[in-house]
Structures are given as C-alpha cells and as structure tokens.
Amino acid sequence: MGTLPTYLQHAFAAACPPGWTASAEVALLTAELADLLGYRPQADLLLTHTDGRR
C-alpha cells in the first residue's frame, strides 16, 4: 500500500470521535459467506462505535 492510504488510515484513527474506534483492512463478510460468494471484500478503514454501529 502506498504512503497516502496509510497516512489517511492513521489520521482517521487519531481523529475518531468519542466512543468510536478505527480498524484498518477489515473483512466485511464471514469466511463462510465469502467462500460461498467467491469474494472477500475488505474495508480500508472501518469505524465502529461502542454500541456496535459501523
């Protein structure tokens, strides 16, 4: 991955509002569903709230 995407991931993670956390390169489907669909999508950056919102 280039420098800009890595920088943006870190910048967003550092600027998360209270109650939110950031995770980089997160799988969006379970392994079983990804196998069934033949596709494994990932989020470059996923923000998750403490109440489970994404």
In a domain, residue 37? The reply is yes
Predicted pLDDT of residue 1: 55
Q: Is 38 left (phi over 0), alpha (psi -120 to 50) or beta?
A: left
**Full-prediction pTM beyond 0.85?**
no
1-39 pLDDT per residue, tens: 568 888 988 898 899 999 999 988 899 999 999 999 999
Distance from chain centroid for Cα 49: 12
Q: What is the pLDDT of residue 35?
A: 96
Please tell me the distance from the alpha carbon of residue 44 to that of residue 25, in angstroms, as a whole number. 5
In a domain, 26, yes or no: yes
Give me the domain span that covers residue 15: 3-49
pLDDT of 36 reads 96
- pLDDT-derived band at 48 (thresholds 50, 70, 90) equals very high
Whether residue 54 lies inside any domain: the answer is no
| SS3 letters across the chain | CCHHHHHHHHHHHHCCCCCEEEEEEEECCCHHHHHHHCCCCEEEEEEEECCCCC
